[in-house]
Structure 1
Amino acid sequence: MMAKTSYGVTVAYRRSLKRGTGLLGYLLQEWLFFLTLAMLLIKSIVLMGFVNSSNQSLIDMSRGLKNITYMPICVAFLLIIAAFSLLARNRGRLWVLLILNFLCSFLFAFDAVYIRASGNFLSTQLLRQTGNLNNLWDSIFAMFRPCDIVFGFDIPIIAVLLIVTRNLVEYSSPLFTNLKARLIAFFTIILISVGYITASHIAIDVYGSSKNDYIFYTHWNPAQTIRNTSPMGYHVYDCYVFFSDFKPYNISDKDRADIQSWIDKKNEKLPPDSYKGIYKGKNLLILQVESLENFVIGKSVDGQEITPSLNKLLSNGIYFDNYYAQINEGTSSDADLMTNTSVFPVRKGSTFFRFPYTRYNSMPAIMEKHGYSTKAIHPDNGEYWNWMEALKNIGFQQCIDSKSFSMDEVIFLGLSDGSFLRQVKDTVIKQKAPFYNFMVTLSSHSPFEMPQRHQKLKLEGALAESRLGGYFQSINYTDGCIGTFIDELDKSGVLDNTVLAVYGDHDSVHKYFNDEIQNIKPSQDWWLDNDKRIPLIIYSKGQQAQTIHTTGGQIDLMPTLLYMLGIDESEYENTVFGRNLMNTREDYVLLSNGEFRGNMAESRKAEILQGLEYADMAIRSDYFKNK
């Protein structure tokens, strides 16, 4: 009979485990390699469960499995990551595996945050935008959810296990001690994984028939790209796309012809109507309001108007109540771009960071030809989203940033809306007519934690403590600042000959905190759904109030305003991707993720969707430089 330890384990059996002999001993020594693979696969599935989910704050494993188009591709990329642990020797291999697990988990956790914020995973392009993070950390941390702990819960547990079992097993396997064996194993795993990925790429991407099923392809819908490549594969492909930017991007004559054909086919060529030239000769002032969603317009909470100043504009304004945000990864800077160029942003990263020197047949350039002076005025630093460099090249004669203002009150991202609009008032009033000024506000940015001194609404219960309540307070503050600014312009007489266009840069509280909004009790129906709608109000003193129900978006503002300012369509219709909302038979908008709103025949959707890809090609190739 064999001798036994006090734990009932034979001495011989324990020695076998310590020496690592036999299959069981080998598996015991490789426990962390297989566990790391399993955990990273589980985390990939969890992350994919957030993709295209109506609630990106709940773990849905079944949705995650459905959202990985090619599971073997996903495993192959994870094997490549784990294989690098074979380059370390002895127990160091285990700690390398733990570090690799931690780094991937950290990446996945921030992917989860970023997909809630932008509908995409983190991009290498963001390395060009690190300066944007200076004042955004509160907004970033507000996007984490309790479920995100799943991406890191195993890390401390494994670390403790490595410490506790450090004397239990002698790691005598050649894969721990022998350099040659480790290198053979490393290159074997790499070659098999890369070979499988390459073979799949050739079979599916090269000889496949549908771009929806491509592995490596920047789809118009970011979620589709992520599903096809898998989380880790997406980041590898993203790096490839990033470095390909450093090479000149050329398009063929056929591509150029296709782009122009798409733009020309979009033009409806309708006869002029009564809106043409109604603002001819007037100044134009555009005010892009941070995070302004449409659902607050005309609404009250606990008997208090949320946007009394904007509501007042409606009495002499044209109000577009089906106007949508079309921004992509450039967020607010994409709104700057589309408003002034009527061109969709690039498919990956920020257009202003990637292609700040691209030329356009822009609104400021066209208005300059008609005698207008043009200014872009921001209360933040010119390097933020690289907006100053980009807007200069878009065609503004002058760009003014925070360096030109006294920073006497800072809220979140920069100068407070109250201080900004108070200081910029004299610039607008003293400017020689005709002028075009493009301005933005900042204070109503997430996480919607307005200083107490600026909270004017009296809210009660759960609403008062919620992000939605904070949003109401933030928008109400900005609305009050806008009202004071407009009153000052009116007193000076500038408003008598000025058209004011006010709109939101993007949706926000529903985009970032929709899960919290749905859980507020008691709730009201009007605040539960916004669906990417932002308000557009075109105000002119003495104008008859009107509501336009036509569905449109941010690329439509430029042709709409130029039409109403009396500038002939021939000056811009062959370069804009948008349409004139005052003279159209169409009733649709194409969002940046490829979704449609409004009325669009199924038979035309594929054709219209090409606009996203054509705009990307046009920006990257500087297509408009000679237009």
Structure 2
Amino acid sequence: MKSIIDNKNLLNRPFILFSLIVIAFWIKTYTVYQIEFSLGIENGLQQFLLFINPVSSTVFFLSFALLAKGKNRNFVYIVIMFILSLVLYGNVVYYRFFNDFVTMPVLLQTQNFGQLGGSALALIKPFDILYFLDVIVLIALIWLKIVRPQMELPRRAFIAGLSAAILIFTGNLALAESDRPQLLTRTFDRNYLVKYLGVHNFTIYDIIQSSMSASQRVAADSNDITEVRNYLETSYVKPNEKYLGAAEGMNVIYISMESLQNFIINYKLNGQEVTPFLNSLTRDKNTLYFNNFFHQTGQGKTSDAEFLMENSMFPLPKGSAFTVKATNTYQGLPEILKNNGFNYTAALHGNSKTFWNRENMYKALGYDMFYDSAYYNMTEENTLNYGLEDKPFFKESIPYLKDMPQPFYAKLITLSNHFPYPLDKEDQTIEPATTGDKTVDRYFQTARYLDESLEQFFNDLKASGLYDNTMIVMYGDHYGNSENRKPAMEKVLGKKITPYEQQQLQKVPLFIHVPGEKIQGGIKSTYGGQVDVRPTVLRLLGIDNSEYIEFGSDLLSTERRQIVPFINGDFVTPDQAFIDGRLYSSLTGERITEEIENKYYSDFVKNQLDFSNKVVYGDLLRFYELKGFQRVERSTLDYSQEKRYNKP
């Protein structure tokens, strides 16, 4: 036995080594919680749960090493610790920008990984190697033979380990439920799950939930879409006759303004307007500017914004519908327009067709054509960060637009104003901010570059002859500076960012430009979100949208409910904001502590999210047939170079 275990060395006693490894990983995980995550601890119980929640998952996974014999057990310890550390660190890097945790659908978005480039590198810090220190130390102890091969243990040791893990988790969950009832059945917010249960328990929960969601399509039938349709009929709002058909017969161009937040509109940096062109549109008689318009995206970010804008449905609570639900049946905006007199639909983007699985999803939405990076001059001087810079992108897109048979619908997706906001020196026409956070400081330069590229595009559109017959819809796709940039953003805004102010930073600009004095332009202060744009655009085009499955409502209707749901269950209205289980006044921004009935709001938000998820997870639109509606056959769509001028 002495050849297997040295009893004089405590590290070679199986249960002592096991306990020390558990404690080391436990302390490391809790330290990561404190340094890297902003989980909103509100009371002593939550702090206690945050402290103990790594224990159950650590004991559970490391217990499997107890089944191994001799030197194999130490190897299994290393493998398990490395995998657990990798999961933890993966969440650290992801959280640094997205302020969210990694889910299984995100991991399935592998086609995006190879293109992250500088964005991912900007999130990695030199001291990150310390997050693998316990693994490195164990490897060193084994290599130096301080930790030797372990003695064989009876199977009951493994069973005891699993039993202890389950017992600890049960107690953890019971305490969590006492503070947050129905934690696993009603919460949409991953921050809550990690705060109460821990990163690794959340990962297990997420794997189970992802498996369950896959089964929803199998169980769905036509009765489910009837239920959804009946619900939507109760929330239908009539159009505003003043705007109905104002853009009838026009081309439609959507422009996704990458990472552009609304605070930048009319913002001055060192006395200079950051976005002078967009600022001018807020005063333009042919432009509607919505200043209480919120992004509603989740983990899919830009692709989620596209999903909202094209389908008037909410994005998935985990992952991107573009990646995991591209095989679904949709009635997207391109397909609807083709059924209502439009001759051509196209998406244009200076990035690879595989990013966010766009090639497949665009076919599901019914786009005739997708002009990806293969159609642009992707020279070294024209590309930066995620792809083609905005000015050459817009310049090279004009010939494609001129060639499209009218009326057409085209969506253009910009790239330059993207984290970590690099910009060539010759393109910098405004000095950076001086907050001390380089990411936030550079944001103003790339936002100015985007603004200049939009002005150039408007001018080129006028020169092309398309401008006078084209409605242009420009929208911010998601936030540019996450909650993790709060200290710098407080300097930018000149005020403390409370939870209410943080929610207000989810505002993005929406401009709807209709030339020819066919609308009464100006600032519209109605509360709305990206889910509301499609019904608004359809009515401006004079298209009856009453039979389509839409969870948004016309932003110009005088009857609309001004309730903006977010996919984590929060919401905002002109009078109330619901954030992390607490109410705030939208008038003062102050916390509402007295009891105020908000059941109507919360029920509306829950129904919107639940029914939308039901449609997407169940692929319910495959059961929804509209009279005379022609679906586009995906097999007939070809986005390759030789097909680009093949017109319907």
Query: What TM-score does the superposition give when structure 2 sets the normalisation length?
Result: 0.81
Matches within 5 A, 1:437-456: 437-456=410-429
Q: Distance in 2 between matches of 1:94 and 1:421?
A: 58
Q: Which residue of 2 aligns with 1:545?
A: 521
- Conserved 8 A contact 1:49-1:63: no
Q: Distance in 1 between matches of 2:151 and 2:545?
A: 75
How many matched pairs? Answer: 587
Matches within 5 A, 1:495-514: 495-511=467-483, 513-514=485-486
Q: Which residue of 2 aligns with 1:230?
A: 198
Are residues 1:336 and 2:306 paired?
yes
Code of the aligned partner of 1:569? N
Are residues 1:602 and 2:590 paired?
no
Shift of 1:288: 0.6
1:370–1:64 distance in 2 versus 1, CA, 3 Å: farther
Of the three residues 412, 416, 426, the one matched with 2:385 is 412
- Conserved 8 A contact 1:340-1:558: yes
Are residues 1:36 and 2:12 paired?
no
SS at match of 1:380: coil
Code of the aligned partner of 2:506? K
Q: Distance in 2 between matches of 1:499 and 1:577?
A: 23
SS at match of 1:502: strand
Tell me whether 495-504 or 352-361 shows the greater mean CA deviation. 352-361
Q: Which residue of 2 aligns with 1:12?
A: none
Shift of 1:437: 0.9
Q: Which residue of 1 aligns with 2:279?
A: 311
Q: Which residue of 1 aligns with 2:566?
A: 591
Matches within 5 A, 1:141-180: 141-144=121-124, 151-161=131-141, 166-167=145-146, 176-178=150-152
Are residues 1:470 and 2:457 paired?
no
Summarize deviations over 1:170-209 as a string: whole Å, max 9, x none: 77xxxx222xx254422442355458869999x999xx99
SS at match of 1:500: strand
Code of the aligned partner of 1:105? S
Q: Distance in 2 between matches of 1:512 and 1:565?
A: 41
Tell me whether 155-164 or 182-191 shows the greater mean CA deviation. 155-164
Tell me whether 483-492 or 595-604 shows the greater mean CA deviation. 595-604
- Conserved 8 A contact 1:48-1:63: no
SS at match of 1:587: coil
- Conserved 8 A contact 1:467-1:516: no
Q: Distance in 2 between matches of 1:156 and 1:64?
A: 34
- Conserved 8 A contact 2:59-2:164: no
- Conserved 8 A contact 1:204-1:214: no
1:51–1:212 distance in 2 versus 1, CA, 3 Å: farther
Q: Distance in 2 between matches of 1:562 and 1:214?
A: 39
- Conserved 8 A contact 1:323-1:554: yes
Q: Which residue of 1 aligns with 2:646?
A: none
Of the three residues 569, 572, 575, the one matched with 2:545 is 569
Code of the aligned partner of 2:311? T
Q: Which residue of 2 aligns with 1:616?
A: 613
Code of the aligned partner of 2:531? I
Of the three residues 313, 319, 332, the one matched with 1:349 is 319
Structure 1 unaligned regions, length at least 5: 1-14
1:542–1:362 distance in 2 versus 1, CA, 3 Å: same
Q: Distance in 2 between matches of 1:614 and 1:210?
A: 28
1:539–1:229 distance in 2 versus 1, CA, 3 Å: same
Q: Which residue of 1 aligns with 2:345?
A: 374
Shift of 1:616: 1.5
Q: Distance in 2 between matches of 1:146 and 1:155?
A: 17
Q: Which residue of 1 aligns with 2:115?
A: 135
Are residues 1:274 and 2:242 paired?
yes
Q: Distance in 1 between matches of 2:313 and 2:516?
A: 32
Shift of 1:26: 8.2
Shift of 1:213: 2.6
Are residues 1:53 and 2:38 paired?
yes
Shift of 1:427: 1.5
Tell which structure's C-alpha radius of gyration is larger.
Answer: 1
- Conserved 8 A contact 1:218-1:225: no
Summarize deviations over 1:297-328 as a string: whole Å, max 9, x none: 12221232211222233323111011111111
Summarize deviations over 1:257-280 as a string: whole Å, max 9, x none: 543343222223x46331222112
Shift of 1:435: 1.3
Are residues 1:580 and 2:554 paired?
yes
SS at match of 1:375: strand
1:151–1:70 distance in 2 versus 1, CA, 3 Å: closer
Q: Distance in 2 between matches of 1:432 and 1:406?
A: 24
- Conserved 8 A contact 1:510-1:517: no
Q: Which residue of 1 aligns with 2:188?
A: 220
Q: Which residue of 2 aligns with 1:6?
A: none
Q: Distance in 2 between matches of 1:31 and 1:196?
A: 19
Q: Distance in 1 between matches of 2:96 and 2:532?
A: 26
Of the three residues 250, 257, 262, the one matched with 2:219 is 250
Code of the aligned partner of 2:208? Y
1:253–1:366 distance in 2 versus 1, CA, 3 Å: closer
- Conserved 8 A contact 1:302-1:459: no
Code of the aligned partner of 1:177? M
Summarize deviations over 1:491-525 as a string: whole Å, max 9, x none: 2221111111111110122445334434x5x8745
Q: Which residue of 1 aligns with 2:260?
A: 292
Q: Distance in 1 between matches of 2:45 and 2:21?
A: 19
Summarize deviations over 1:39-91 as a string: whole Å, max 9, x none: 33334444555898378xxxx8x879617869887533221211122234345
Q: Which residue of 1 aligns with 2:358?
A: 387
1:72–1:444 distance in 2 versus 1, CA, 3 Å: closer
Q: Distance in 2 between matches of 1:264 and 1:473?
A: 46
1:75–1:459 distance in 2 versus 1, CA, 3 Å: closer
Query: What TM-score does the superposition give when structure 1 sets the normalisation length?
Result: 0.83
Structure 2 unaligned regions, length at least 5: 577-596, 626-648
Tell me whether 243-252 or 405-414 shows the greater mean CA deviation. 243-252
